[in-house]
Amino acid sequence: MTSRASSAVEQPPASLAQPTVEASRQVEPTGKYPGALIVVEGIDGSGKSTQLYLLKRWLEIGGYRLHFTEWNSSPLVKSATRRGKQRRLLTPTTFSLLHAADFADRCERQILPLLHSGYLVLADRYIYTAFARDVARNCSPRWLRNLYRFAPVPDITFYFRAPLDVAVKRIMSGRPKLKYYEAGMDLNLSLDRAESFRIFQGRILAQYDEMIESDRFVVMDGTLPVNTLQKQMRQIVKSRIELARFAPKKSARGPM
């Protein structure tokens, strides 16, 4: 791991490590633990949280050993994030780093230990949220891929893809007050908050689309009825994860 340059003289063009995006991009789950990780991703209003909730209910009712985790839920860096947002102190870099710190805490204290102890971990948003959103804020993809490389690779990443108009309409109908960073106002895309939100979400959507193949997303059509999507989702989970591993020992009752 050490990389000692032979010369003791500063060489200005020489840089610190410059891994390519590809080099630091892992796509295979390591399989070094008995647990499994299922992730949902997609822009706001794509329906992902509803679907993950229904998946969780299905598994809970079946008695499976599972843990549900959300992006941005750790109390650890909450005060810093809140302060930064209220006072608008955050730059693309510090915004990204604070969320990475938050994720690292959740990863090291929840996600990894649970995967090692054989849990099925369900994550509402994962590192791809950071990749999509922070690249939309002009952070370097190479830097971001390195930043999050300690994160375990999901067994399944469901990408709920809804057209921008559909997703924005869903959000705007239910939650008219958009927050400053949420709307991407720090990027000076538009003075109008709703318009800024729309442009920002469009950029994020484009970034998600970029990752479909490279990160092996399972693309779900977010315009389909909730129940249809949920059936598809359960089918995919059953076919790709050996659920029996997470079943309660004595109860024979399975899901369905």
Q: Which residues form the interface with another protein (CB under 8 A)?
A: 1-13, 15-19, 24, 76-77, 79-80, 83-84, 89-94, 97-98, 100-101, 104-105, 107-109, 137-140, 142-143, 146-147, 149-150
Cα 231 to Cα 155: distance, rounded to the nearest angstrom:
19
Rank residues 56 and 125 by Cβ distance to another protein and give the closer one. Answer: 125
Rank residues 51 and 81 by Cβ distance to another protein and give the closer one. Answer: 81
Rank residues 80 and 236 by Cβ distance to another protein and give the closer one. Answer: 80
Which tokens belong to 117?
């102890």
**C-beta of 163: minimal distance to another protein in Å?**
28
Cα 201 to Cα 135: distance, rounded to the nearest angstrom:
12
What φ, ψ does residue 157 adopt, rounded to 5°? Answer: -115, 110
**C-beta of 201: minimal distance to another protein in Å?**
19
Rank residues 57 and 83 by Cβ distance to another protein and give the closer one. Answer: 83
Rank residues 76 and 212 by Cβ distance to another protein and give the closer one. Answer: 76
CA distances from 7 to 1, 40, 117, 210 (A): 18, 48, 47, 40
**C-beta of 148: minimal distance to another protein in Å?**
10
**C-beta of 78: minimal distance to another protein in Å?**
9
Cα 97 to Cα 90: distance, rounded to the nearest angstrom:
10
Cα radius of gyration rounded to whole Å, the chain? 20
Longest dimension (CA), the chain: 69
**C-beta of 100: minimal distance to another protein in Å?**
5
